[in-house]
């Protein structure tokens, strides 16, 4: 098994590409060891001293570290990923391999009068923003729209990334303002 690695704009996060499907649809994030209890792979990764976050995309895994050096962490992380796939263990303890996006959608907030605007915003995020952000090892999902402000949830490499503010302000905000005049600002949740 050959696992590729890629840097991300976030220096504390590396993207690992195992060359096979990781998550059937959507994304999943584990912010701490307790949250990782539902995933044997995430538990293995949190077992590596210095790992502070794990994120699954469709065909990649991003791992976030503390102040530790990648030179020391990378071999242990590669070993944990390889051991997981060689063991044949499921990605999640319940045997499923699908994301938490249904629960994400349940937490959305917006006024029903803005439903058409929200659909345009969501479509732009799905078709133009999420694919680009996935290339960098992260994900951005819609959380809400109120008083012209779009609220987005940043996950994976995007969470805590030094360039995330620029991505939000200059990239996503400008894109949404161009296509949806009702958008005034974009903010992270």
C-alpha dihedral over 167, 175, 114, 163, to 10 degrees?
0
In this structure, is residue 139 part of a structural domain?
yes
81 domain residue, yes or no: yes
Does the pTM of the predicted model rise above 0.75? yes
Q: What is the largest CA-CA distance in the chain?
A: 53
Residue 13 lies in a domain: yes
Q: Domain boundary residue among 34, 57, 87?
A: 87
Same domain, yes or no: 10 and 73: yes
Sheet hosting strand 109-110, strand order edge to edge: 109-110, 138-146, 149-156, 185-188
In a domain, 45, yes or no: yes
Q: Is the domain of 121 the same as that of 181?
A: yes
- Is 93 a member of any domain? no
Mean pLDDT over residues 28-45, rounded? 93
| pLDDT tens digits, 160-184 | 777 777 777 778 889 999 999 999 9
pLDDT tens digits for range 51-101? 999 999 989 999 999 999 999 999 999 999 999 999 998 898 876 655 555
Q: Tens digit of pLDDT for each residue in 102-152? A: 555 667 899 999 999 999 999 999 888 888 888 888 888 899 999 999 999
- The parent domain of residue 25 ranges over 4-87
The CATH number of the domain holding residue 49 is 3.30.1370.70
Are both 10 and 62 inside the same structural domain? yes
CATH number for position 164: 3.30.300.130
82 and 107 belong to one structural domain? no
35 with 64, same domain: the answer is yes
**pLDDT for the residue numbered 118:** 93
């Amino acid at each position: 098994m050959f696992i590729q690695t890629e840097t991300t704009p976030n220096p504390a996060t590396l993207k690992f590409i195992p060359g096979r499907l990781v998550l059937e649809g959507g994304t999943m994030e584990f912010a701490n060891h307790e949250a990782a209890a539902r995933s044997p792979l995430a538990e293995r990764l949190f077992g590596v001293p210095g790992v502070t976050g794990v994120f699954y995309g469709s065909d990649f895994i991003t791992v976030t570290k503390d102040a530790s050096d990648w030179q020391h962490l990378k071999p242990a992380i590669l070993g944990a990923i390889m051991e997981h796939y060689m063991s044949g263990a499921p990605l999640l303890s319940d045997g499923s391999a699908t994301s938490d996006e249904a629960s994400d959608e349940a937490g959305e907030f917006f006024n029903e009068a803005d439903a058409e605007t929200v659909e345009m915003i969501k479509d732009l995020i799905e078709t133009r923003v999420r694919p680009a952000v996935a290339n960098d090892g992260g994900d951005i999902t819609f959380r809400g729209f109120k008083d012209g402000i779009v609220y987005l949830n940043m996950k994976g490499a995007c969470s805590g990334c030094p360039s995330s503010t620029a991505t939000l302000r200059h990239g996503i905000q400008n894109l949404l303002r161009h296509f949806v005049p009702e958008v005034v600002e974009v903010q992270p949740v």
